[in-house]
């Protein structure tokens, strides 16, 4: 897809992007060579050709397998820097970047190297890339809550520079209610709270993320359109939804962009932003997503401006910093 100059787009924030999901095939091969890791593909083009997914599960399998190349703090720094370089070109002025601590601990990579590598780049992102950043630790729904609690405690004990927590990975069979203790502890610690909900799962997961986890923001949340009462409520409460339309199509949660519930969410008055999720895996950074959605759904200039404004309004930035962006 093509990329326009940032000046042709309204400035925006990106609130839903997994740093591990920004791994370009070329960088994967570079890191594999550096770390002596073998990838089961002959070259980057073959790896990219494998980015064809039947569902969330088949994506998570490859996404997790590719993490094998991320071994050192320098690898995480390079990954983060590459995303910020590309995001700046997309017109992103503020990014709230998730990472999956449990995925790396399971592979024997020390938490300090993961956090240290990412944070070393985020610390100077505004000066280096013109992008302010916040970091979110995302926990796996398909792992036991005690595991997540242990990792959260370690993040807090080491004063990891995280603004908040999230919840990701497989949704079906792992309802939000499993993580009430995790979210309560995060809340007590003064952390902000987002959660993937209603991506492949039902609208009830969105409601439970709000009521049981006290999530302040919902990642995806597209199933909300199936519950008119909930739709009315989240519009009234202006709960931010970080929607990723290209991801939803590529993971077949939605058959096509033209059938995406984004217009229904906008129509209902929700605070919706558009995001990339895992850009190389889905073939679209956030500017590409913006272009694809605009073309498929015929969004007006005003609607696109409202989506860009919502990306700042739904952020975890302090109010005065949000206002400065609007």
Residues in the site for Zn ion, rule: CB under 5 A? 277
d(CA 77, CA 113): 10
Q: Is 278 annotated as a binding residue?
A: yes
- Is residue 196 near ligand HPA by the rule CB under 6 A? yes
Return the number of the residue (39 or 246) whose C-beta is nearest Zn ion.
Answer: 246
Tokens of 240: 């931010």
Among 21, 91, 240, 279, binds ligand HPA (CB under 6 A): 21
Residues across the chain: 326
Q: List Cα–Cα distances, 250 to 57, 179, 267, 278, in angstroms.
A: 12, 28, 24, 11
Structure letter (DSSP) for residue 237: H
Question: Could you say which of ligand HPA, Zn ion, none residue 24 binds, taking C-beta under 5 to 8 angstroms by partner kind?
Answer: none
Site for ligand HPA in 105-164 (CB under 6 A): none
- Is residue 169 near ligand HPA by the rule CB under 6 A? yes
- Is residue 276 near ligand HPA by the rule CB under 6 A? no
d(CA 229, CA 232): 5
Tokens of 187: 């809340």
- For the sheet with 92-99, list strands across it: 12-18, 92-99, 132-140, 164-168, 192-197, 217-220, 240-243, 271-274
d(CA 212, CA 206): 10
Q: How many CA atoms lie within 13 A of 281 on its CB side?
A: 30
Active site residue 199: yes
Return the number of the residue (94 or 196) whose C-beta is nearest ligand HPA.
Answer: 196
Return the number of the residue (132 or 169) whose C-beta is nearest ligand HPA.
Answer: 169
Q: Is 18 annotated as a binding residue?
A: yes
Return the number of the residue (221 or 306) whose C-beta is nearest ligand HPA.
Answer: 221
- Find the shortest distance in angstroms from Cβ 60 to ligand HPA: 6
Among 75, 78, 277, 290, binds ligand HPA (CB under 6 A): 277
Contact 115, 157 (CB under 8 A): no
- Is residue 14 near ligand HPA by the rule CB under 6 A? no
For ligand HPA, how many residues bind (rule: CB under 6 A)? 11
Q: Which of 96, 199, 237, 259 is catalytic?
A: 199
Q: Is 220 annotated as a binding residue?
A: no
- Find the shortest distance in angstroms from Cβ 187 to ligand HPA: 22
Return the number of the residue (219 or 306) whose C-beta is nearest ligand HPA.
Answer: 219
Q: Is 291 annotated as a binding residue?
A: no
- Is residue 71 near ligand HPA by the rule CB under 6 A? no
- DSSP string covering 267-296, please? HTT-EEEE--BSHHHHT--HHHHHHHHHHH
d(CA 57, CA 38): 23
Angle 73-89/25-35 helices, nearest 10 degrees? Answer: 160
- Find the shortest distance in angstroms from Cβ 123 to ligand HPA: 24
Binding residues for substrate: 278
Where do contacts with ligand HPA occur on this chain (CB under 6 A)? 18, 21, 56, 63, 168-169, 196, 199, 247, 277-278
- The residues annotated with a catalytic role in the active site are 199
Binding residues for Zn(2+): 16, 18, 196, 277
């Amino acid at each position: 897809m093509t990329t326009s100059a940032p000046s042709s787009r309204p400035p925006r924030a990106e609130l839903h992007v997994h740093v591990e999901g920004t791994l370009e095939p070329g960088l994967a091969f570079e890191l594999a060579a550096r770390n002596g890791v073998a990838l089961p593909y002959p070259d980057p083009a073959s790896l990219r050709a494998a980015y064809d997914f039947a569902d969330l599960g088949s994506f998570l399998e490859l996404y997790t397998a590719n993490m094998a190349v991320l071994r050192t703090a320098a690898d995480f720094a390079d990954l983060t820097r590459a995303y910020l370089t590309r995001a700046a070109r997309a017109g992103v002025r503020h990014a709230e970047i998730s990472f999956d601590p449990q995925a790396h601990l399971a592979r024997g990579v020390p938490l300090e190297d993961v956090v240290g590598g990412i944070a070393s780049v985020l610390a100077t992102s505004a000066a280096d890339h013109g992008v302010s950043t916040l970091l979110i630790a995302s926990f796996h729904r398909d792992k036991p809550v005690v595991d997540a609690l242990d990792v959260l405690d370690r993040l807090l004990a080491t004063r990891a520079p995280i603004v908040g927590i999230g919840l990701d990975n497989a949704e079906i069979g792992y309802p939000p209610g499993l993580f009430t203790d995790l979210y309560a502890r995060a809340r007590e610690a003064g952390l902000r709270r987002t959660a993937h909900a209603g991506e492949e799962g039902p609208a009830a997961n969105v409601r439970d993320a709000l009521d049981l986890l006290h999530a302040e923001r919902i990642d995806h949340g597209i199933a909300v359109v199936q519950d008119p009462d909930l739709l009315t409520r989240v519009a009234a409460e202006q709960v931010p939804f970080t929607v990723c339309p290209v991801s939803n199509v590529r993971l077949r949660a939605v058959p096509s962009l033209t059938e995406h519930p984004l217009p229904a969410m906008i129509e209902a008055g929700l605070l919706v932003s558009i995001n990339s999720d895992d850009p190389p895996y889905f073939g679209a950074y956030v500017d590409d997503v913006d272009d694809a959605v605009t073309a498929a759904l015929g969004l007006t200039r005003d609607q696109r401006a409202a989506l860009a404004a919502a990306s700042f309004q739904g952020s975890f930035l302090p109010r005065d910093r949000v206002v400065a962006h609007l």
